[in-house]
Amino acid sequence: MKPMTRTLSTWMALMVGMVVAQSSLARDLPDFTELVEEAAPGVVNISTTRVTEGYSTPFGNFGGQEIPDIFRHFFGDRFPVPPGGGGGGHTEERQSLGSGFVIDADGYIMTNAHVVEGADEIMVRLNDRRDLKAELVGADEKTDVAVLKVDASDLPTLSLGDSDDLKVGEWVAAIGSPFGFDHSVTAGIISAINRTLPRDAYVPFIQTDVAINPGNSGGPLFNLDGEVIGINSQIFTRSGGFMGLSFAIPINVAMDIADQLRSEGHVTRGWLGVMIQPVSKDLAESFGMERPEGALIADVDPDGPAARDGLEAGDIVLEVDGEAVERSSSLPRLIGRVAPDSEVELSVLRGGDRQTLTVTVGDWPEALAGGSGESSSSASPARLGIAVQALTQAELGKYGIDAGVRVSDVDPRGVAAASGIRPGDIIVSVDQTPVESGRQLSQLVRELPADRAVPVRLYRDGRSLFVALRLADD
């Protein structure tokens, strides 16, 4: 009996210890009640209406969409469709929901640009249940920031924090209207900072595990001091709902955009006029770098600021005004925040040597989103595994390049194919030496060292890019 008594006593002690530890842990968790009480009045719900032209049929309104095949199967060409396939007579209203927050007591509200995109009417519901019609002051698609104005005064505003001081692991909370449920509160931690997402080169996103769902877009992200440190903007999802990957626009970035929209009605951002690509491990080796870093200049706009001030294709930008360019995605952001007509110092790697160039940044152009004679064929060495064709002067002029040969065939088992070279590519340079002809390419390939990557510049589908070519031993 005594051993059993000791065992029970030990278990009881362990259970009491666990309860005490859990109670202590619960006391250490953040309490968001005070934050929510103070911040909630400054958070708003946003609804938009978009009017689209459509038409009606005896079987209902399809809003200008294609008639379902099931009806065409039974009615064929006798199906009653207006001339021209639709449009005319009927309008359809589509509503979307989002969130926002007050940044100025005189009625200025911040939200996401995608929340109000294409809206014919914007309504803002305040915390006190007032519904006010809003005017769009301005929106910037590249950063997904928009500013609205409602006819009101003495609105409750939110305190703004400093998103440059954020640390991974700190607690954050969001208030918004997921699926239309006003002033829902969720919390979590910052999972990462300075995230770059596809097609969003100008925003160093804050990644969190805060539950964000449709309707949260445009709402504020708070730190534990109740300060707004971001705008909830995007989620990564395969189901359409929250999966633990949420992304917010840093408030410092958003306020810079908002200030420009309020004062100028539009946003200006720096522009170099270059096409860039990441520096892979093989490309880094081919350029003589110890590790992959920087942004590789694949092409230069001949009329842009970079070309004017000496930046060349093949340069690798390592720093902008002393700030390291760790990844190629960092360069657009660093240049974009520079005021047009301002000078920046670029530290670049060219031909294995590091040098500094001073470039006067231009203004992002509004337009950007984004023959005679026979061609002779020449087979390049077997160790490369391609066949090429010479280009005429007219073709060179058409593509805007000074030299190059077109790849007419690629051995799928060769080293060129392994490096990513495809039929139709134009080889502009090999190891930063311009390729004038197939014969010269053959000579260059024969002189290349074996088992060492070299950079090859290509022209493909209207753009330039580099690949790393690694030749095997013969």
DSSP SS3 for 351: coil
Would you say residue 59 has pLDDT above 50?
no
Asked if 314 and 288 sit in the same domain, the reply is yes
Whether the Cβ atoms of residue 271 and residue 254 lie closer than 8 Å to each other: no
Sign of the torsion angle spanned by Cα atoms 167, 171, 174, 178: positive
Q: Could you say which of 264, 286, 308 is where a domain stops?
A: 264
The pLDDT > 70 percentage for the chain reads 79
pLDDT of residue 373: 28
Residue pointed to by tokens 């007419």: 408
Asked if 293 and 207 sit in the same domain, the reply is no
pLDDT of residue 449: 75
The answer to whether residue 429 is domain-embedded is yes
The answer to whether residue 155 is domain-embedded is no
The answer to whether residue 57 is domain-embedded is yes
Whether the Cβ atoms of residue 325 and residue 318 lie closer than 8 Å to each other: yes
The answer to whether residue 5 is domain-embedded is no
Q: What is the mean pLDDT of residues 123-139?
A: 94
Residue pointed to by tokens 């093949």: 314
Q: Chain centroid to CA 331: how far?
A: 13
Please state, rounded to an integer, the average pLDDT across all residues of the chain. Answer: 82
C-alpha span between 455 and 431 (Å, rounded):
5
In degrees, rounded to 5, the angle at the alpha carbon of residue 89 between the alpha carbons of residues 86 and 94 is: 85
Asked if 328 and 295 sit in the same domain, the reply is yes
Asked if 458 and 402 sit in the same domain, the reply is yes
Nearest to 265 by CA among 369, 103, 147, 153: 147
Asked if 173 and 145 sit in the same domain, the reply is no
Nearest to 191 by CA among 141, 236, 159, 256: 236
Q: What is the mean pLDDT of residues 108-129?
A: 93
Give the DSSP letter of residue 121: E
CATH number at residue 180: 2.40.10.10
C-alpha span between 436 and 379 (Å, rounded):
15
Asked if 252 and 280 sit in the same domain, the reply is no
pLDDT of residue 11: 64
Asked if 383 and 435 sit in the same domain, the reply is yes
The pLDDT > 90 percentage for the chain reads 45
Total count of domains within the chain: 4
C-alpha span between 127 and 107 (Å, rounded):
13
pLDDT of 409-466, one tens digit each?
Answer: 787 777 888 888 988 899 999 888 898 887 788 778 877 776 678 899 998 988 889 9
The answer to whether residue 287 is domain-embedded is yes
Q: Could you say which of 264, 288, 311 is where a domain stops?
A: 264
Q: What is the largest CA-CA distance in the chain?
A: 106
Q: What is the mean pLDDT of residues 380-400?
A: 74
pLDDT of residue 41: 95
* DSSP H or E run through 438: helix 438-447
Asked if 419 and 455 sit in the same domain, the reply is yes
pLDDT of 9-45, one tens digit each?
Answer: 666 666 666 655 555 555 578 999 999 999 999 999 9
Please tell me which residue in 140, 144, 200, 315 is annotated as part of the active site. Answer: 144
Residue 429 appears among annotated catalytic residues: no
Asked if 138 and 186 sit in the same domain, the reply is no
pLDDT of residue 8: 62
The answer to whether residue 22 is domain-embedded is no
Asked if 441 and 399 sit in the same domain, the reply is yes
Please tell me which residue in 99, 217, 330, 419 is annotated as part of the active site. Answer: 217
pTM metric for this prediction? 0.67
Residues whose CB falls within 8 Å of the CB of residue 2, separated by 6 or more in sequence, listed in order: none
Integer angstrom CA distances of residue 253 from 194, 258, 290, 455: 12, 9, 33, 36
Nearest to 113 by CA among 90, 134, 138, 80: 138
pLDDT of 287-303, one tens digit each?
Answer: 999 999 999 998 888 88
C-alpha span between 433 and 448 (Å, rounded):
12
Q: Could you say which of 225, 243, 264 is where a domain stops?
A: 264
C-alpha span between 211 and 190 (Å, rounded):
12
Show the beta-strand stretches assigned E in 242-315.
246-250, 270-271, 274-278, 295-300
Strand partners, 293: none
Residue 183 appears among annotated catalytic residues: no
pLDDT of 204-231, one tens digit each?
Answer: 999 999 999 989 999 999 999 999 999 9
Asked if 188 and 230 sit in the same domain, the reply is yes
Integer angstrom CA distances of residue 330 from 29, 147, 298, 321, 464: 35, 26, 16, 13, 19
Structural domain boundaries enclosing 193: 163-264
CATH number at residue 410: 2.30.42.10
Q: Which two tokens stand for residue 66?
A: 């294609």
Strands 405-410 and 377-379: unpaired
Please tell me which residue in 56, 90, 106, 114 is annotated as part of the active site. Answer: 114
The answer to whether residue 20 is domain-embedded is no
pLDDT of residue 258: 96
**Helical H segments across 79-182, by residue range:** 113-116
Q: Which two tokens stand for residue 253?
A: 């970035």
C-alpha span between 319 and 347 (Å, rounded):
5
pLDDT of residue 27: 58
Asked if 345 and 280 sit in the same domain, the reply is yes
Residues whose CB falls within 8 Å of the CB of residue 73, separated by 6 or more in sequence, listed in order: none
Residue 217 appears among annotated catalytic residues: yes
The answer to whether residue 254 is domain-embedded is yes
